[in-house]
A = this chain, B = another copy of it.
Amino acid sequence: MDDGKVPSAEGFALREVLDLVGDKWALAVLAQLSGGPRRFSELERALTGVSRRILSLTLRRLERNSLVMRTVYPEVPPRVEYEMTPHARELDAPLCALLAWASKHRAKVAEGRRAYDLANA
């Protein structure tokens, strides 16, 4: 069904995936949630650099795309937990494949970039 190459039309299908997890903090959030359910403030602490608002928006969008489940516990003080959906869990493998690629080529890419920038000084 597939020859191992990425057919032309599928380039667009791949973009759909990026539109799901392409937010600046989406992958970092999912990485956190892959370790189990997390509270809002836990995520906020773990992801140094993210603002409350952006974290909120990111979670909302992930929830909208069925990648994250939001559970509110009616207590005082309020408690809200986020966890990955089964759909999102199946993303782990593909993502790890990308991760492997990254760790293998990160250095080369960085060096190539330096060379490129140097050539076009």
A residues near B, CB below 8 A? 2, 4-18, 20, 22, 24, 27-32, 34-35, 46-47, 63-66, 87, 90-106, 108-109, 112-113, 116-117
Contacts and interface: CB of A to CB of B under 8 A. Distances in A.
Given A108-B87, A109-B87, A99 B13 contact: yes
Contacts of A16: 102, 106
4 A-B pairs with the lowest CB-CB distances in the bound complex, closest first: A11-B31, A11-B28, A66-B112, A94-B97
Given A24-B15, A100-B94, A113 B30 contact: no
Nearest to A24: B15
Contact of A12 (B28, B66, B87): B28
Given A22-B22, A87-B105, A98-B98, 18 more contacts: A4-B92, A4-B93, A6-B31, A8-B28, A8-B46, A11-B30, A11-B31, A14-B98, A15-B24, A16-B102, A16-B106, A17-B99, A18-B22, A64-B117, A66-B108, A90-B104, A90-B105, A97-B97
* Copies assembled: 2
Contacts of A11: 27-32, 47
A75 B47 CA distance: 53
